[in-house]
Amino acid sequence: MPESGEGLKANLNIASGAKPLSVKDMEAIARKIRCHIIAMTGKAGSGHPGGSLSAVEIVTALYFGLLRHNPKDPHWPDRDRFILSKGHAAPLLYAALAECGYFPVEELSTLRQINSRLQGHTDRILTPGVEVSTGSLGQGLSFAVGVALAGRLNLQAYRVYVLLGDGECDEGQVWEAAMAASHFKVDNLVAIVDNNGLQIDGWNRDVMNLEPFNKKWQAFGWQVIDVDGNNLSELISAFNQAKSVKGQPTVVIAHTIKGKGVSFMENKVDFHGTAPTPAEVEIALKGLE
């Protein structure tokens, strides 16, 4: 398992008031997170590397450039909330949380083991820093709407970010939640769609065509921002833009590449839920490092 660099460790507690990392430093962390995803799924022999790799920049931009959070106090009441609705991308969230200091990086090697705190889908009771247990797709946005409304009712200034898969948007509950968020003008909520074009059964356009995707969200009353979801600068700009939106929720449609960063995994549906072999782990880590 790759080790954390001392130079980056000094900058990790950005939520407790320190300055956010530079894009260059975040790019280094994104590479490290990709290495963790490959190593941990390879050791476990199972997991979902493709959709974890595609969203690395999204989660990196949030945890190392934007979110107010404190690894020493995971339940800090005024923290911003990040909800991983596509719960099968748990390796990505675990890698980011470990790099932030919520638990030791070495613990990543226990992914999917019996009695590990790092199960195949996120578990808020077991894992420090996890906001909600997810796995059944379509539920995360509903949960996020409730959390955002609770913050408003309690006069708290936190913001809520929820990461959805594009294939997950086949679920009707997503659109019920989207309608509710618009109706209640939940402007402290940002949905991010990891729009990599693939789901477990193939290309979205063949399984359940989502287009016109932007217009769907607009019709449901959301502010829509389109970005290259593997570009940290664009993501940071989009998240900052979302802070100025008032009276409606915002969705960031992040156009990404499934398996991003590992050449033989990119745009390959087989790696949606198939772990790399030991030989593939070696090739992938060599390419990433």
Closest to 58 in 3D by CA, of 202, 196, 265: 196
DSSP string, the chain: -PPPPHHHHTT--GGGTPPPPPHHHHHHHHHHHHHHHHHHHHHHT-S-HHHHHHTHHHHHHHHHHT----TT-TT-TT--EEEESSGGGHHHHHHHHHHHTSS-GGGGGGTT-TT-S--SS--TTTSTT--S---STT-HHHHHHHHHHHHHHTT----EEEEEETGGGGSHHHHHHHHHHHHTT-TTEEEEEEE-SEETTEEHHHHS---SHHHHHHHTT-EEEEEETT-HHHHHHHHHHHHT--SS-EEEEEE--TTTT-TTTTT-GGGGS-PPPHHHHHHHHHHH-
pLDDT at site 18 = 62
Q: What is the pLDDT along the chain (289 residues), one digit of tens a residue?
A: 444 433 333 334 454 456 779 999 999 999 999 999 999 999 999 999 999 999 999 999 999 999 999 999 999 999 999 999 999 999 999 999 999 999 999 999 999 999 999 999 999 999 999 999 998 999 999 999 999 999 999 999 999 999 999 999 999 999 999 999 999 999 999 999 999 999 999 999 999 999 999 999 999 999 999 999 999 999 999 999 999 999 999 999 999 999 999 999 999 999 999 999 999 999 999 999 8
CA 171/CA 78 separation, integer angstroms: 31
pLDDT at site 109 = 98
Phi, psi (deg, nearest 5) at residue 75: -105, 20
Is the peptide bond preceding residue 212 cis, with omega within 30 degrees of 0? yes
pLDDT at site 175 = 98
pLDDT at site 4 = 42
CA 102/CA 111 separation, integer angstroms: 15
pLDDT at site 17 = 54
For residue 84, is it within any domain? yes
The domain that holds 138 is classified in CATH as 3.40.50.970
pLDDT at site 11 = 37
For residue 125, is it within any domain? yes
pLDDT at site 6 = 34
Range of the domain at 29: 6-288
Count structural domains, the chain: 1
- A 10 A CB-CB count for 215 gives 10
pLDDT at site 3 = 43
pLDDT at site 212 = 97
For residue 53, is it within any domain? yes
For residue 25, is it within any domain? yes
Closest to 20 in 3D by CA, of 56, 80, 53, 60: 60
- Residue for token pair 């578990």: 123
For residue 152, is it within any domain? yes
For residue 1, is it within any domain? no
- Residue for token pair 């932007």: 214
